[in-house]
Structure 1
Amino acid sequence: MATPAPFDPVREDMQTIAFYNLENLFDLADDRLTNDGDFLPGSKKKWTYKRYQNKLRKLGFAISNIGKEETGKHPSIVGLAEIENAKVIEDLISSQHLEQCNYSYVHYDSPDERGIDVALIYDDAHFEVLESASFSVHLRDANGTPDYTRDILLVSGLLDGIHVHVIVNHWSSRREGEKETEAKRLASSEKVGEIIRSLHQNFHDPKIVVIGDFNDEPHNISIRQLIHAHNLYNPMETLRSYSRGTVFYNGKWNVFDQIFLSINFLQSSQSDFEFFKAEIFDEDFLKLFNGPYRGSPFRTYVGKRYKGGYSDHFPVYSILKR
């Protein structure tokens, strides 16, 4: 395991909100209600206890270091995608590098066909959950049959005493083609819009953070319509380049993992949180270090082949400052 460089002293005036797609964090139990057959000891992927523990340890190391260079500490809030159930979250937050981080979690089972959900872990020394809810996105395939996907998670609480609302997403993939699946992501975008409208109806000038793996880029219509309709700020727009992104997909870099903030995070304040910066957490230890895909995420699997890495996505994060 890589050893990070020394960090500056802890910044009590800063907090990090992050998002990380964990690439199929499944336990070893056979859940007959989910499609977890690939992640069993007897499967072609040979998902074993040793491999599971290695993934937990590596993911925990990565999470514990997100934003640490700037703040001197682990993130206060982390949205997660591709987790199978509550057990894997409990195993993750009790793993070697996270057991001292005071993490608790919010999770709801969703009807996704792959058996994966989103969740939120949070340092309960800095974030107090007041309420949470899960919202389904109702989709249909071309033949009219229901297409079950991940629910959208809303968690509202106090971040060092400031009321914030965090919306965690994992929108439909592009596996059947970008255009062929665009309507599904547009439906998720509309659902997030409904949640934001509800927050504005129930709270005065709510502070909203939207995080997730959107399987679309900042310039795609699902993202643009959400940003423009609800006066959000997307700091991820400028981070993609020819040689950098959050996921290496079909031979090119994409910024599918993003963080949006309500515009009130850009207002100057003496006591409230303000947006400080946003970044892709693409440290060298998360990357392949040789071969034709050098510099891309060091994955756990490529197809059925075990590689022993972290995830096929890089995390993203935003730092708030008071």
Structure 2
Amino acid sequence: MISSQNLQGLVLGFIVLLCSCSSVQKTTPPSQGSEEFLIHTIGFYNLENLFDTEDDPTKFDESSPLMEIAEGERETIYRAKVRNMARVIADLGSEVTGKPPAMIGVCEVENFNVLQDLVNDHSLSDYDYGIIHYNSPDARSIDVAFLYRKNIFRPIHSKAHELVLYSDTDRTKRKYTRDQLYVKGKLDGEEMHFIVNHWPSRRGGEKRSRPNRVNAAKLTKKIKDSIQTQDPYAKILIMGDFNDGPYNESIKEVLEAQEFSENVGIRGLYNPLEKLFKKGIGTVAWRDTWDLFDMILVSKPLIRTTDYSSYTLYQANIFNPYYLQNPKGRFKGYPFRSFADGGFTNGYSDHFPVYLYLIKKKSAVPLPYD
């Protein structure tokens, strides 16, 4: 909980963070006298191959880098990997809220068990995270999931939406990929909608694989449109590793995500991270070039109003502290990935996580689970 008198201090804190992380988009804080505010972090993180140590005969989990490591070392490495992922999630947004995210979408997880190990790690166990996860038909056996703090968010409905793709050369042959996870629930009594994504990769080249991500965007848009048909003023957050940037057809033309909030129509989407990307800041690096594959898009009703009587976007950031950056060598400054050259680096992920803050007057919050 923060007061309007302390919000000016928050801005100074954000400026300090800008100097260390180079990823903060400043906004003007509200001025509401002595009014108190609640602020929550919403995040997304690609966990880079969070697989367990078991060889599941029903899955192609041999695609996990962990399975390439000597069997006697796997358990120790797995525990270190879980611990590292939990540390990042615990830190996400905590410089302002003092706590881990209220909700976070994740991808590249093998199953429910690894998610349980994640939320039970000592960095997160005090926050009583719930898990929403469905097994997907993905060829690499990786899924998306949604984690939420039970005392803050109450899920009402969830569904895995299957993305049906076919081979370029044989239209009768399926290509199996991740589902898109839809979650509806109440944040401090206020209805919210989340769509968690991990769109198809660029394997085979960006141009050749582009139709897969365009089709993924069409499915996301279909889910979004169905929500808005029921409620044009629905608060929707679309998050994920899109394997496309804000400039690509899937994001810019299919989803029509806008760089500037004033250009967003009532059923449109705003990309609050695009301005950071225009400044050369991204979540993934390839051949010394940054790209922004990880994003959180928000619907019009979440764009900041002046009265803060309902949850509103305050800021969106890329989380890239020094410990998440490769410390040395050719890839210094890149995301410090967990696995490289057939071994465990004791790093984190090949993606930086993204997050945003939602803010609301404390006086506007109903009783829990109202």
TM-score normalized with structure 1 length: 0.93
Q: Find the aligned partners of 2:46 and 2:327 in 1 and give their Cα distance.
A: 21
- Aligned position for 2:333: 295
Query: Do the aligned residues in 2 keep the contact of 1:14 with 1:71 (CA within 8 Å)?
Result: yes
What do residues 4-29 of structure 1 show as CA deviations (whole Å, max 9, x unaligned)? xxx99xx9610111000000000011
- Match status 1:148 vs 2:176: yes
Question: How far is 1:302 from its partner?
Answer: 1.7
Structure number with greater Rg is 2
Q: Find the aligned partners of 1:221 and 1:290 in 2 and give their Cα distance.
A: 35
Query: Do the aligned residues in 1 keep the contact of 2:155 with 2:184 (CA within 8 Å)?
Result: yes
Equivalent residue of 2:277, what SS?
A: coil
Q: Which residue, 108, 124, 133 being the options, matches 2:159?
A: 133
Of Structure 1 and Structure 2, the greater helix share is in 2
C-alpha distance 65-193 of structure 1, shift in aligned 2 (>3 A): same
Q: Find the aligned partners of 2:337 and 2:66 in 1 and give their Cα distance.
A: 19
- Aligned position for 2:229: 201
Equivalent residue of 2:182, what SS?
A: strand
Q: Find the aligned partners of 1:240 and 1:223 in 2 and give their Cα distance.
A: 14
Query: Do the aligned residues in 1 keep the contact of 2:53 with 2:67 (CA within 8 Å)?
Result: no
C-alpha distance 274-45 of structure 1, shift in aligned 2 (>3 A): farther
Q: Which residue, 103, 122, 125 being the options, matches 1:99?
A: 125
TM-score normalized with structure 2 length: 0.81
Q: Find the aligned partners of 1:318 and 1:138 in 2 and give their Cα distance.
A: 31
Question: How far is 1:94 from its partner?
Answer: 0.2
- Match status 1:248 vs 2:285: yes
Q: Find the aligned partners of 1:264 and 1:42 in 2 and give their Cα distance.
A: 45
- Aligned position for 1:163: 191
Question: How far is 1:70 from its partner?
Answer: 2.0
- Aligned position for 2:251: 223
Count of aligned positions: 314
- Aligned position for 1:124: 150
Q: Which runs of 4+ in 1 moved over 6 A?
A: none
Q: Which residue, 17, 37, 40 being the options, matches 2:62?
A: 37
C-alpha distance 270-299 of structure 1, shift in aligned 2 (>3 A): closer
Structure-to-structure mapping, 1:1-322, within 5 angstroms: 13-39=38-64, 43-44=68-69, 48-144=74-170, 145-228=173-256, 230-240=267-277, 244-268=281-305, 269-322=307-360
Q: Find the aligned partners of 2:221 and 2:85 in 1 and give their Cα distance.
A: 31
AA in 2 matched with 1:265: L
C-alpha distance 45-310 of structure 1, shift in aligned 2 (>3 A): farther
What CA RMSD, in Å, does the superposition of the two structures yield over aligned residues?
Answer: 1.9
Unaligned runs of 5+ in 1: 1-6
Q: Find the aligned partners of 1:283 and 1:41 in 2 and give their Cα distance.
A: 26
**Residue identity (%):** 38
C-alpha distance 41-297 of structure 1, shift in aligned 2 (>3 A): closer
Q: Find the aligned partners of 1:238 and 1:49 in 2 and give their Cα distance.
A: 41
Question: How far is 1:227 from its partner?
Answer: 3.7
Q: Find the aligned partners of 2:122 and 2:344 in 1 and give their Cα distance.
A: 22
Question: How far is 1:247 from its partner?
Answer: 0.9
Equivalent residue of 2:358, what SS?
A: strand
Query: Do the aligned residues in 1 keep the contact of 2:185 with 2:191 (CA within 8 Å)?
Result: yes
- Aligned position for 2:4: none
AA in 1 matched with 2:96: E
